[in-house]
Structure 1
């Protein structure tokens, strides 16, 4: 076995050691059923607590700078949409009903939104203003971000990074590899493991977010118009093979295939 193959084999063994195989959410109508590997020493509660501290600091800093928007019509829109989406989160994981959800709008030109571990949501005004988002489109992007939190993609990424670091250190110690070989191991781990899984996480967030929005009474077709707007706003993005996000065409195709699965949920929500 050559050194590169030895590194890969050792990495796989170390990544599995101390890991739990879990499915953080139910599959839903969209059928997200992938098992996730989480380090048992890195609990959901610990990750939630770490992020809550970071979130509180960011909110405090935004408030002191006068960029925390609590009163505008957009702030009210964001909170109203979030409330409807959050109400549907227990369909994917019942414990989300006990999360300490927070929602804040930040005045910034940044085209971004996020939902961190434990349900801590940020939306940036640039996303709404630059893309002229409808309520349905805003629900699509917020549903996508909430899905990341429900699936604990943050904890999964931390577990993976920890495992890779363990593998690198173990490989270097046991095989006596130089920096050049460890750099190669880095590249193998990065392009062979981290990036494809990250694209997979984005696909999962797309699908779960689509269903969350539909259950909350937002038209799932808005996900298509949302990502078309995002694509036009981010022209010149890196090719899909080296990106953590799916290409616009593959993302749109996956969403279009899933829309018929969630359309009955949307129709039912509109009647209730």
Structure 2
């Protein structure tokens, strides 16, 4: 029979055995270099394929509802900005240049935008119109979202969830009490998910800041963007804020890193002019 102290060690050993430590991107000028733990059995390709299917279903529903915006002025703006940002992704991740990037706009009051695994971008017109976003601010949102995809934050979150599920199944097999399993799940949530969630947001902020600067968009727009977001969330939180929680330190962190990317922005503007 297993001793009580040996069971957690067994769980840890089995979970670690199925993990690999990776750094999905280079650090860039902003210096994002956190090592990430991924389940090796959950590959990048598998996650990208799963999301691509969900993405296609979303677009199909939007098309059937007549809200897939393919030719408006907003769509043209979003596509132009996206192409400039996508051109910069090899700085952080060379293989991302070969991703099957897609950019689509949905005509909806929803204040939301995202870039899923594998480079599948969706923007909702409500976010742009309600917050009256400039091109620089759109680039700040999109750069942030692209950064989540480059860093594979979705796969990382799925790896953690898979780890919890595996531990739960093993615990049940070895007769661990339900209360004990709930406690383990809560512990994983607070010790793993929440800190990494904040870390992931910070990484997306910084990489997005640099992507936008390298593409010739003013990095200071990230400040005005989050000021608008915070003001909007005070009355009715945008959908975007539910998965991108604000914090009192976010704008401070952005301000501290803008000097690192400002030369990149100035060099990009000089090439354009």
SS of corresponding position for 2:234:
coil
Residue matched to 1:269: 268
Whether 1:202 aligns to 2:195 is: no
How big is the shift at 1:171?
A: 2.6
TM-score in terms of structure 1 length:
0.92
How big is the shift at 1:18?
A: 1.3
Q: C-alpha deviations, 1:156-208, integer Å up to 9, x for none?
A: 1111110111112223333x222222211121111121111111111100000
Q: C-alpha deviations, 1:57-95, integer Å up to 9, x for none?
A: 111110110010011100000000000000001110001
Residue matched to 1:163: 163
How big is the shift at 1:137?
A: 0.5
SS of corresponding position for 1:169:
helix
Q: Check whether the contact 1:214–1:266 (CA below 8 A) recurs between aligned residues.
A: yes
SS of corresponding position for 1:33:
coil
Q: Check whether the contact 1:32–1:208 (CA below 8 A) recurs between aligned residues.
A: yes
SS of corresponding position for 1:249:
coil
Cα-Cα RMSD: 2.0
Residue matched to 1:248: 247
Q: Check whether the contact 1:11–1:164 (CA below 8 A) recurs between aligned residues.
A: no
Residue matched to 2:60: 60
Unaligned runs of 5+ in 1: none
How big is the shift at 1:11?
A: 4.8
How big is the shift at 1:40?
A: 1.1
Q: Distance in 2 between matches of 1:237 and 1:28?
A: 35
How big is the shift at 1:234?
A: 1.2
Q: Distance in 1 between matches of 2:74 and 2:8?
A: 49
Residue matched to 1:182: 181
Residue matched to 1:232: 231
Q: Check whether the contact 1:199–1:244 (CA below 8 A) recurs between aligned residues.
A: no
Whether 1:213 aligns to 2:212 is: yes
Q: Check whether the contact 1:22–1:38 (CA below 8 A) recurs between aligned residues.
A: yes
Q: C-alpha deviations, 1:6-52, integer Å up to 9, x for none?
A: 77655543331211111000000000001111111111111111111
Whether 1:127 aligns to 2:155 is: no
Q: Distance in 2 between matches of 1:130 and 1:12?
A: 47
Q: Distance in 2 between matches of 1:226 and 1:9?
A: 46
TM-score in terms of structure 2 length:
0.92
Residue matched to 1:17: 17
Q: Distance in 2 between matches of 1:43 and 1:51?
A: 13
Once the two structures are superposed, the pairs formed by residues 21-36 of structure 1 within 5 Å of their partners are: 21-36=21-36
Q: Distance in 1 between matches of 2:77 and 2:7?
A: 51
SS of corresponding position for 2:48:
helix
* Aligned residues between the structures: 265
How big is the shift at 1:237?
A: 9.2
Q: Distance in 2 between matches of 1:251 and 1:185?
A: 30
Q: Distance in 1 between matches of 2:256 and 2:124?
A: 29
Unaligned runs of 5+ in 2: none
How big is the shift at 1:100?
A: 0.6
